Amino acid sequence: MPIDTEHFKQKLEAEKASLETELQKVGRKNPDNPSDWEALPPERDTSQADENTVADGIADYEDNNAIVNTLESRYKDVKSGLDKIAKGVFGVCQVCKKEIDFERLEANPAARTCREHMN
């Protein structure tokens, strides 16, 4: 049975939009590379802050960085899923080139591999 790519396209588009919203809270698109996101520096003005506040600012930045990395890696998977739909190769395992089963795609439309080849 052919895969209903329209169904998964809608799911992926919805996830992409919500990931973009999340990413915009903690990061911004790299102006030199629109497919790359970078963490926002802490907003706090550290110029007159004491040492504790500066340390807090750095911790915030590292937190943002970790969140951006997690969201960005998911964002790339989702974009690659949409890419595959556009190219007509959606739902094919990257390793064995067999079709990925429906339940797995339903749970994760951005899946790159079949159940057997997920790590």
Judged by CB under 5 A, the number of residues near Zn ion is: 5
Q: Which is nearer to Zn ion, 60 or 99 (CB)?
A: 99
Q: Which of residues 65-94 bind Zn ion (CB under 5 A)?
A: 93
Least distance (Å) from Zn ion to the CB of residue 95? 4
Least distance (Å) from Zn ion to the CB of residue 77? 16
Least distance (Å) from Zn ion to the CB of residue 88? 18
The alpha-carbon radius of gyration of the chain (Å, integer) is 19
Q: What x/- string results for residues 33 through 72 when contact with Zn ion is judged by CB under 5 A?
A: ----------------------------------------
Nearest-angstrom CA–CA distance, 41 and 109: 32
Indicate whether 118 belongs to the interface with Zn ion (CB under 5 A).
no
What's the token pair of residue 84?
Answer: 């595959």
SS3 string of 19-57? Answer: HHHHHHHHEEEECCEEEEEEECCCCCCCCCCCHHHHHHH
Q: Which of residues 98-117 bind Zn ion (CB under 5 A)?
A: 114, 117
Contacting positions for Zn ion (CB under 5 A):
93, 95-96, 114, 117
